[in-house]
Structure 1
């Protein structure tokens, strides 16, 4: 079980008023930071504390919320930082949706550290188990597991975490828990599509990565009918919108989505 870090232990600011939950939440929704998370946070646990405090500061001073928006936050070292905590309506799921699920934040971003460590994944699951096992008067949640984007227009919790959720959120090392191939190179800034025939190093980079994933594709730097069909098959496999076009999210998924 992950270590629980109390608000006093991470020196949280005093909240400006919480709204008690009136009904038992259906389950949890997972979130990511969204901005850049420096990869060396994995080696320096002090950065985890600083990041959680900066999120609370942004939520209270910029968003003018009563407190940090999440119920709990999970770091790369299998520690669970208590945010608003149990029995309280979070502010991270979206208007009209907050009371339906507890909000669990993974301290990963959309750049830098984008793939959770195994300890973070354990922490995310430990946080859910803790919230489900609360005493009745503390408002334990049900078993539903969703991502922030479910029912709300956002990319959160990112493609890697969302794919993990849809695969049944397995614990690391168990069945169904493959790791990504590598970190993605920067998106080239153009959508790869056919027609017309597109050529270039960006096409070659994407083709090479798809070949590494096991797809039968020529690495020739030419995005034609075959590349389009591979893109379509990959999108269908991952449950994405099937277009045959490689946009920013499809580009990142070629590196971050687990190989299945």
Structure 2
């Protein structure tokens, strides 16, 4: 079956606010879900799918101030594929530093309401992936948004399907079962007066790997922000936190080049170091 493509003109897309960044190829595609409630009536009424895609674009452009809808393509329950940013254009959906590696395809399911993707939607996602391979140089990888970024996306249903190898519904294959991911252990922060004790793990980031996350990350970020460094206090240790850590290590003289890792010395320095007092003129 050829792809049932819904062009931007056909779904009434707004024009982007500027020019897209170009990509020639990617390692593959990452699958997403909305992360919110999706009206179950979409499954019976395609006009509601069109309205949902428009709502996503409006949220991204008006709510987030982005150039356009973040996704490369969108698949609905009726095996129709909406063109988002499209092939050859940089997506904005995978997370900071992760958009050049993969295109993005949104399946119109959420974390409440419509949560189970129909066979038509799974076919549509795969149709979109094949289209991105043919038209945009997408590689063979099919991953979930959470592969490399700390998020629940694309939800349990879609991610389970991705982990099974994203098979076509009705395909005669029995993919190997994957082991469930262990739940992350809570990180306890023990405060000794006004200073928290080092929690015992090095905060670090490895490109292509999930971000470290936890209360220790958030506490350290909050301290650096309070010291005047520009850093988001989101509990996720990624590229931004690594860069701030490296610059902080250099500024304090802790490390000449800066490792970008919050080890015990860096953690303690974050609370004990004081900037030199300027000489009086």
TM over 0.5: yes
The residue aligned with 2:34 is 33
The superposition leaves residues 194-239 of structure 1 with CA deviations (integer Å, 9 ceiling, x where unpaired) of xxxxxxxxxxxxxxxxxxxxxxxxxxxxxxxxxxxxxxxxxx9642
CA positional deviation for 1:24: 1.1
Deviation, 1:90, is 0.7
Aligned partners of 1:170 and 1:177 also within 8 Å: no
Gaps of 5+ in 2: 185-281
Alignment deviations for residues 56-94 of structure 1 (CA, whole Å, 9 cap, x no partner): 000000100000000010000000000011111011000
* SS of residue in 1 equivalent to 2:8: coil
Shift of 1:140: 1.5
Change (3 A) 1:177 1:113: farther
SS in 2 for 1:170: coil
Contact 2:109 2:116 in 1 (8 A): yes
1:1-260 correspondence to structure 2 within 5 Å: 1-134=2-135, 139-175=136-172, 238-241=179-182
Q: CA RMSD in A?
A: 1.8
CA distance in 2: counterparts of 1:44 and 1:22, whole angstroms? 34
Runs of 4+ that moved beyond 3 A: 175-178
Residue aligned with 1:146, SS: strand
Structure 1 or 2, whichever has the larger Rg, is 2
TM-score, length of structure 2 as denominator length: 0.62
CA 1:239–1:18: 2 relative to 1, 3 Å: farther
Query: What whole-Å deviation, never above 9, does each CA across 1:100-137 have from its counterpart, x for those lacking one?
Result: 11100000000111111011100011111111112xxx
How far 1:2 sits from its partner (Å)? 3.0
**Local SS of the residue matching 2:104:** strand
Distance in 1 between residues matched to 2:183 and 2:73, nearest whole Å: 35
Work out whether residues 73 and 82 of structure 2, in 8 Å CA contact, stay in contact via their aligned partners in 1. Answer: yes
Q: Which residue of 2 aligns with 1:229?
A: none
| Higher normalized contact order (CA 8 Å, seq sep 6+, divided by chain length) | 1
* CA distance, structure 2, for counterparts of residue 39 and residue 70 of structure 1: 21
Q: Counterpart of 2:241?
A: none
The two structures have a TM-score, normalised by structure 1, of: 0.67
Q: Output one character per residue of 1:120-160: Cα deviation in whole Å (capped at 9) or x when no partner.
A: 100011111111112xxxx3111111100001010000011
